[in-house]
Amino acid sequence: MFKYSKLSILALATAGMFSACSKLDQDPQSSLSDKDAVTEANARILANGMYSRMQALEYYGRDFMIVTDLGGIDMKITSQNSNRFLSEFQVMYAPLVAPQTNTFLNAYRVVNQANVIINKLPETSNTSAIRGEAYFMRALANFDLARRYTRPYTNRGAVKAGLTAPNTGIALVTESLDKPDTYKPKRSTLEETYAAIIADLKVAQQKAPAGKSEGGAASIFKGNRDAATALLTRAYLYKGDWKNVITEANKLVDKYDLYEASQVADIFNADGATSEEIFSVRNTVNNGLGANNFGYMYVPAANGGYGDIRLTDAFMALLDKKDARLGQVLVADNGANNYLMKFSGNKAQGQVGLVNVRVLRISEVLLNRAEAYAEDGNLVAAVADVNKLRAKRGLDPFVGVDKTAVLAEISKQRRLELVGEGFGMTDLFRKNGTREIPDANALKSKVVGPEDPYVAYPIPQTEMDTNPNMVQNPGYNK
């Protein structure tokens, strides 16, 4: 990367056109030309490069979901730690925080790899579905960038700033660039960002390969039509577009089975596709990261991990003794420390903390629909969805007719069900909550309200230094 020190991160993301695992990504100076590489014969290799980019350590390899959860209220770091993610947990965000720079870079690498396929790969009967995968992957990467570097759409600070105000969204890159050194993109508005994500997902719904119910178990490891629909429910939920959440969720809820209560404790350590998965990142020993594996951060030292990230007292207070999800928790030191064992490791692969990363599951889609029903005034349907999940987690039915109580129950179930899966920070601030970790054994951390600058991460300093058109998020210019 030192060769490109004068390039912005966005330019670096486009400088290496092809993923290294594709065998087409050598030094960009000597990589194959578009004419030789972007062909129908290489279409699957090019697509595999998108997924390889996702597996990077600072993206879905580990950091993206961990950092998003550390920004919520269910995870903490104590004085017993390996010096990882301290700035993120203590909310000492700065444009120079290296892991966030690399997350920015790797997400845009996925975008660029998708752009090569969308813009340069000839469309034939053999490549059309692969182009559909690329539309899904571009939408997912852009959505992840929005979740990290912009305010949530329904956040009070975002609404106050204006959803159509300049520089409130991400830089939308839609072309594969021949001269990245001259590329200095501007940021879009938040409204434009979400519109682009939704537009790509609608194309993916038509072009991408079939989901698991029609395409078989292996389809969950590719961007598929069901994955596009599931991600649309998330995008519409974050926008507060309740009717479209319901419309899209209705296409999926009856196609996928929820985990049984007896499966819940260890299901995230399964080797193959499981019933709830719609889209997952496949990890095996061949691409395992050893002590940097995703789950390694959660598994206690006594079990072979770091045990740095533990569950907060507030999270533990949500768990009912009947809840099957209690089996995902290791309670230690007379309750002083509680470890998430959800990602302890795929036994078939034999590495601590090495798991397939579940990006989209039917439980989330069901909870998205429940929230949309409740916000839209259909409390009976909302409660029915919540109780469908509760029954599969060993819990008695929830009884509630008050909108506030129903929404509180949905929020509770989201925290219990999706803990560790990268929702904590976004869910908290899109609902205008406040982040505070009062646990006695937690490192001191800032209190963050819904209008605080720390609701969004800063644009990395490298991008600010080399791209005169990039505008920093408010609050980070001091």
Q: What is the pTM of this model?
A: 0.94
Domain for residue 421, yes or no?
yes
Domain for residue 297, yes or no?
no
pLDDT, tens digit only, all 478 positions of the chain:
334 456 777 877 776 554 434 333 333 333 445 566 889 999 999 999 999 999 999 999 999 999 999 999 999 999 999 999 999 999 998 887 656 789 999 999 999 999 999 999 999 999 999 999 999 999 999 999 999 999 999 999 999 999 999 999 999 999 887 777 788 899 999 999 999 999 999 999 999 999 998 989 999 999 999 999 999 999 999 999 999 999 999 999 999 999 999 999 999 999 989 999 999 999 999 989 999 999 999 999 999 999 999 999 999 999 999 999 999 999 998 888 999 999 999 999 999 999 999 999 999 999 999 999 999 999 999 999 999 999 999 999 999 789 999 999 999 999 999 999 999 999 999 999 999 999 999 999 999 999 999 999 999 988 999 999 999 999 998 5
Nearest to 18 by CA among 40, 45, 39: 45
Domain for residue 341, yes or no?
no
Domain for residue 91, yes or no?
yes
Domain for residue 287, yes or no?
no
- What is the pLDDT at residue 400? 79
Report the domain count for the chain.
1
Q: Tokens 């444009």 correspond to what residue?
A: 95
Dihedral over alpha carbons 354, 357, 358, 360 (to 10 degrees) = 180
Domain of residue 242: give its range: 8-257+314-323+356-466
- What is the pLDDT at residue 2? 36
Domain for residue 104, yes or no?
yes
Q: How many Å apart are CA 149 and CA 318, to the nearest integer? A: 30
Domain for residue 369, yes or no?
yes
Look up residue 171 and give its two tokens.
């830089």
| Residue partners of 195: CB distance under 8 A and separation at least 6 | none
- What is the pLDDT at residue 418? 98
Q: What is the DSSP letter of 332?
A: E
C-alpha distances out from residue 275 to 362, 408, 413, Å = 9, 27, 19
Q: How many Å apart are CA 15 and CA 8, to the nearest integer? A: 10
CATH code for position 74? 1.25.40.390
- What is the pLDDT at residue 23? 36
Q: Find the helix packing angle between 63-70 and 128-149, rounded to 10°.
A: 30
Instruction: Report the amino acid identity of residue 341.
Output: M
Q: How many Å apart are CA 197 and CA 381, to the nearest integer? A: 28
Domain for residue 275, yes or no?
no
